[in-house]
Every structure is written in C-alpha cells, then in structure tokens.
Amino acid sequence: MISLEALRRGPLEEQEAALTLLNDEQVRNALTEQIQAAIAITQEIRPLDEYPDEELPLFHASADKRLSIVRDTTGMIGLSEREHFQDMAIEVMQRYGLDTNIFKPRFTSGGWNPDGVTNDRDGTSRQILDYPSQTVRGLHFESNRHYYIATNEPISVNWTVVGHRLPFMEHFRRIHSIFGTMR
C-alpha cells in the first residue's frame, strides 16, 4: 500500500529522512573529496566541443532547516548541523586557497548590478560571487546567497567548487615543452 505521508514528503525528503548525522571527520572528508575532484578537472584539457567548467556541490543551507545534506562524489551521504557544516566547509575551502576577501561578481549585466546582486519582485535578492583559489590554478569557489532585501536575513546559502579545464591550446604548449626539452 502507498503511504500518503511518503507522498506528501516527496522523494527528496524521504531520502533525507534515511540519512544519518555524520561526524566532523566524515564531513571534512566529503568536502575534501569534492574539492579534489574539481582539482582533477583543472588538470584536464578541454576538447573543443565540451563545456570548460564543472561545478560540484560543497554546501547548501536553508534558513528553515536545522540540518544540511552532505554530498560526496557518489551523492548524498548524510546530514550535518547547518552552522557547523558551513564553518567546516569554509575551513576546508581555505586549505585549497579560498580567500573571502578576493572575489568578483559572477554576473554584472542582464538584471544584475555591479555587486553581483539581482532583486526579485517578491522582496528577495540573490548574490552570486566567484572566489578564485589563491593556490590552485583553475579552481574557483562560488557562493550563491538568497536573502530578504529589507532585513538582509538569509533564506539560503549555497557553495560550489568549480574546476576550469585547461584551454585546448594548452595541449600544444605541453607537447611543445616536452619535445622542446628533448633536443
């Protein structure tokens, strides 16, 4: 028989209910795994017909939920306290070159202001900022903050890690450097 409660909750909430609370080490390992996967992408050379970037989720928090879902490269693995999870995520990102003082807006036109903010008609705003890693070439962290305009109170915060593949011409530079040293 179909459970009416399960239908009301929906598939994602049902999956969340099955997840367990993770310890700090498990959360840090999951964050590190996602960042390491993005670093591996920065070492790839982009084929001409492929999108140059790949985004991997690091952290998502909703103001109306006390727990956040922790993901690794295989998918959802558990839950963590929202506030504590964000602190751990920032700590791990800083190990890979995140400097929260060095950023640029992801968008600055088409309804986005120079600060990377767009205002919605419902009294909320969204700000998307790009933080290039200061230690790993091609690695970027991106924050997406949704908040109420009047109070600046957050609705949700989302952090992703982005690996930028090397341009196709980098392939020729590498070949030239290898063969150039063989002379």
Q: What is the mean pLDDT of residues 65-90?
A: 93
Residue 116 CA to residue 114 CA, distance in Å, equals 5
pLDDT(134) > 80:
yes
Where is 160: in which H helix or E strand?
strand 154-164
Q: How confident is the model at residue 166 (pLDDT cuts 50, 70, 90)?
A: confident
pLDDT of residue 43: 87
112 within 8 A of 183, measured Cβ to Cβ: no
Identify the pLDDT of residue 165.
Answer: 85
- pTM score: 0.80
Q: What's the token pair of residue 145?
A: 């903050």
Instruction: Report pLDDT digits (tens) over 4-52.
Output: 554 454 454 555 567 899 999 999 999 999 999 999 998 887 766 666 7
Q: What whole-number percentage of the chain has pLDDT above 70? A: 80
Domain ranges of the chain: 4-180
Instruction: Give the pair of three-digit tokens for residue 59.
Output: 């952290």
